[in-house]
Copies of this chain bind each other. A is one copy, B any other.
Amino acid sequence: MDRPFSKETVSRVLDELGIKDIAHATIRQTVAVAAKLEQMTGEKFVHLEMGSPGLPANRIGTEAQKRALDAGVASQYPNIAGIAPLKANASRFVKAFIDIDISPEGCVPTVGSMMGTFASIILCCNLDPSKDTILFLEPGFSVQPLQVDILGFKRKGFDIYSCRGERLRDSLESILREGNVAGILYSNPNNPSWVCLTEEELGYIGRLATQYDAIVIEDLAYLGMDFRKDLGKPFMPPYQATVARYTDNYMLMLSASKIFSYAGERLSTVAISDRLFHRKYDNLVRRFGIGELGNAFIYVILYALSSGVSHSAQYALAAMYEAACEGRLDFVNDTSEYARRAKILKGIFINNGFHIVYDKDLDEAVSDGFFFTIGRDGYTGDALVSELLHYGIASISLSTTGSHQQGIRVCTSMVDEESFKALDERLALFNSNN
């Protein structure tokens, strides 16, 4: 049977937008293609491409932010290190949900984790003149390698798909042994595969980071969203898994975008271990005139990047951290909506002849959550993205995420009840055509 969106229509839109191959388009270009096709045909797309929060912003945050605006903070430069209530509550939040002790001093707001990783990459690559490389556990968020490229540093990486457990340790060490790795960067849970590193694996990473004196940049954008356990009870186990239990060389990226559905205000906390914060580096003195890592991060790098973070939004984040610590804001329960959708979506794909690509954390099935990965026998990831576009389904290829596996990334956030039915019908048609 004919595909809902014809070859001619799709080709015309891609031509108009100057896109040679949809599989190599950026996420935002893919969004534009789908919007244009919807507009031309009047047919709605199933949007599996965008990683935006699909939930409303937390009201505790917006109310606190409005109060701060009324109190007049908009005219005053924010403290670059972060306002005191944010720092105090961030420290408490880290203790409540990760069970790690970090002083308020080491909890520093950034303009999203985007700036958090950008600034951390600058910092790590300026600690030691012989270390200029960021090591990525792949797949990952495609803009992070771009940040390294923009800054002119070097990068390495490997796909964790076939490197779990001891093989992860061995792959890491083979690269660290070269002696030029300044930082190790990954997200956990992983974007896009939703792989969650195990305590064993985090132990390897932490101990190797100490041994080779590299700094782990751990992106916890999806904190608490390994829904196989309930990570949402403050100051009660189980806690979010983290490398921070296994090394002092860590900087945690705590984005408010997904945890509190606060992506619009561009807000994150970088939490630096106390020991690392106070460690002194000769090269920082040479480069920036300040030796202590934490102070160089704040008063040189963050100062020069944006001179701090939205003053009113810092009050929002402080209030949300506080409410979460006091059990008044159950962000894990709120975001478990993504897991509910993932379960349904995975079922629809599997019923129609598809399979999960990154399917296991060692011997356990991956959690349901914000993302998952889908493959189809006989299709590369790129070909699948392109073919699904003709069925009114927008997605991105795993090839754009540093993965060497064949498949697509599915994001659960923008999918509503109505889309479930459409997806099922379209995948059934795909299945009968293939």
Contact = CB atoms under 8 A, between A and B. Distances in A.
Contacts of A26: 299
A114 B305 contact: yes
Number of copies: 2
A306 B306 contact: yes
A198 to B, nearest CB: 30
A311 B118 CA distance: 20
B306 A264 contact: no
A309 B305 CA distance: 13
Contact of A301 (B28, B150, B316): B150
A115 B146 CA distance: 18
Interface string A250-269: 00000001000111111000
Contacts of A149: 287-288
Interface string A281-299: 0000001100000000001
A326 to B, nearest CB: 21
B72 A263 contact: no
A267 to B, nearest CB: 8
A399 interface: no
Interface stretch (A63-71, A177-185, A359-367, A368-376): A63-71
Nearest to A24: B289
Interface stretch (A49-57, A164-172, A415-423): A49-57
Contacts of A309: 266
B75 A308 contact: no
Contacts of A299: 26, 28
A122 interface: yes
27 contacts: A28-B80, A52-B76, A53-B76, A56-B72, A57-B73, A57-B75, A61-B74, A62-B70, A74-B262, A78-B266, A111-B115, A114-B305, A115-B306, A118-B305, A118-B306, A143-B307, A146-B288, A149-B288, A150-B288, A150-B304, A264-B310, A264-B312, A265-B310, A305-B305, A310-B310, A312-B312, A312-B313
Given A57-B72, A77-B263, A312-B313, 11 more contacts: A52-B77, A62-B70, A75-B262, A75-B263, A76-B264, A77-B264, A114-B305, A118-B305, A143-B304, A146-B288, A310-B313
